[in-house]
Structure 1
Amino acid sequence: MNNGDNTAIFSTDIGFIALNGSVKIKILDFLKGGCRSFDEIVQHTGKAKSTISVHLNDLKSQNLLEEATDVHDKRKKVYFLKCQYVACSQEPGMKHYGEMLEVIGSPDMNSFGCLKCLFHAVQYGFRAHGVNCDPIMRKIGNDVGASLSRNFVSNEKGQILKEMMAFWEEHDIGSFKVLSHDPIKIAVHNFFDCRSIPIKEKTLCSFAQGVFEGVFKEKLGIECIMQMLGKCDDDCDACHFQMILL
């Protein structure tokens, strides 16, 4: 969940919580897939039952998860999330942020579009100050996708994708190609000019990922994730995603 970073930040009903413990973060990551029993959590983490019991109590006290009685076995408890994963820490890096600010201060900004450049600058700015905001960008992408879905008429996967393609082209969002319909595999090209803006590090994959998830969840009434296939970097031509049903 936090990709080896030192601290993960979660949003709860009572505010933000920052966690440093890798076991606690691993538990919360496991619960993203739904309710889990105590024994399942123990098996997943590989830790002693007494250790997991302490961690679960700590997470409950921080309002990060909740305990309930298993409907299939009243003697057992299950645990589920009460939080949203927001961000994690990373080593600060000013280089790409500085490069983006140089673009904004040059005539090149006109060719890329002012709003797109500012959007990229916000992403690079977070990273420059040691915050990897991919999780919250994905969540925002989910919300944006759910709202965008109101522009689409169809409730069938193939037709939804066709409507999305036309919408993206009309509004200069980028483009994507459907590689497979079963399962759905998509190659996203130049999302918000991420390929043409001359910055080495790419930042918008998680946002694009969330947009697709939001559209499909809203239009199809399913729980799914768009799993990224491979690592997005300066050498790749597109971001590849595959739908995984939950």
Structure 2
Amino acid sequence: MIFSTDNGIVALDSPVKLKILELLRKGTTSFDELVEQSKKAKSTISVHLDDLQELNLIQEKTYSNDKRKKYYVLNSICLACSELPLRRQYNEHLDNIAVAGLNSDSFVTHLFHTVRFGMEAYGFDPKPIMKRLGNDVGAKIGQKFRANDSEGVLNELSVFWREHRLGDMKILQVASPSVIVNNCYHCGKMPNVGKTLCSMDEGIIEGVFSSRLNLHYVVKETECYGTGHNHCKFVVEAQPEKPKK
């Protein structure tokens, strides 16, 4: 779990420490109550409490009517919680980085995946920022495209995807633009984790369409390797212009 303190961000994976913090999130708790509710020895709880105080995650206080008795309060904010199976994928990408060694292309790819899935493994939702960054990238890329209609943009996108080894893009519909990407560079080896994973790709496609055709487009990934499919599917929708006041 990730916690925010006055001294910065702290990541914890100790079951005992996390249990103590969970109990303190419910309110002020005495030392004896922590021992009883955690079902751990007094010496064990004492060691972990000292560690948590040193990390500035909790504060020790004493009762005004009995200075010998201690109680503890939370001194931090829980920001995020690690998520499985994305945690396992993150560890696999870390292993792949070690194997990649001096192969620059392979290293950069694994580095990107490690950052992307690492954020989610530690409980942060990277989708909004990844899509926004992809949109910015797509807007720049779109300036280099030549097409002035959706069919032309789709054709150029499929070439771009193939040339840059992002996957094999197949056009499904032109009138209501949608595409399927096989062998997706981003999530092609991911198991079914119950969610779509290609928010940056959503943003890139969205940015290309919007910048090239001068309309506001919204791109939604509806199928993904991360949802148990053997491809990624993106649906492109032009948003109606708002009437001028």
TM-score tier by shorter-chain length is 0.5 to 0.7
C-alpha separation between the residues in 1 aligned to 2:96 and 2:112?
12
- Relative distance call for 1:193 and 1:126 in structure 2 (3 A) is closer
Does residue 205 in structure 1 map to residue 198 in structure 2?
A: yes
Give the TM-score normalised by structure 2: 0.57
The 5 Å alignment of 1:1-246 reads 91-93=81-83, 94-106=87-99, 113-196=106-189, 204-230=197-223, 232-233=225-226, 235-246=228-239
Give the TM-score normalised by structure 1: 0.56
More deviation, 99-108/218-227? 99-108
- Relative distance call for 1:229 and 1:175 in structure 2 (3 A) is same
Percent of aligned pairs with the same amino acid: 31
| CA deviation profile, 1:36-55 (whole Å, cap 9, x unmatched) | xxxxxxxxxxxxxxxxxxxx
1:200 is displaced (CA, Å) by 6.3
1:101 is displaced (CA, Å) by 0.3
Runs of 4+ in 1 over 6 A off after TM superposition: none
Contact 1:141 1:211 survives alignment (8 Å): yes
C-alpha separation between the residues in 2 aligned to 1:104 and 1:182?
42
C-alpha separation between the residues in 2 aligned to 1:138 and 1:157?
21
Contact 1:90 1:132 survives alignment (8 Å): no
C-alpha separation between the residues in 1 aligned to 2:141 and 2:197?
17
- Unpaired stretches in structure 2, ≥5 consecutive residues: 1-78, 240-245
Contact 1:100 1:199 survives alignment (8 Å): no
Alignment RMSD: 2.7
| CA deviation profile, 1:75-95 (whole Å, cap 9, x unmatched) | xxxxxxxxxxxxxx7531332
- Relative distance call for 1:203 and 1:110 in structure 2 (3 A) is farther
- Unpaired stretches in structure 1, ≥5 consecutive residues: 1-88
1:209 is displaced (CA, Å) by 0.6
SS at match of 1:153: coil
1:226 is displaced (CA, Å) by 1.1
C-alpha separation between the residues in 1 aligned to 2:216 and 2:161?
23
1:126 is displaced (CA, Å) by 0.9
The residue identity in structure 1 corresponding to 2:145 is F
- Relative distance call for 1:162 and 1:155 in structure 2 (3 A) is same
Larger radius of gyration: 2
SS at match of 2:81: coil
1:160 is displaced (CA, Å) by 1.4
C-alpha separation between the residues in 2 aligned to 1:165 and 1:230?
18
C-alpha separation between the residues in 2 aligned to 1:121 and 1:109?
17
- Relative distance call for 1:112 and 1:101 in structure 2 (3 A) is same
C-alpha separation between the residues in 2 aligned to 1:229 and 1:127?
19
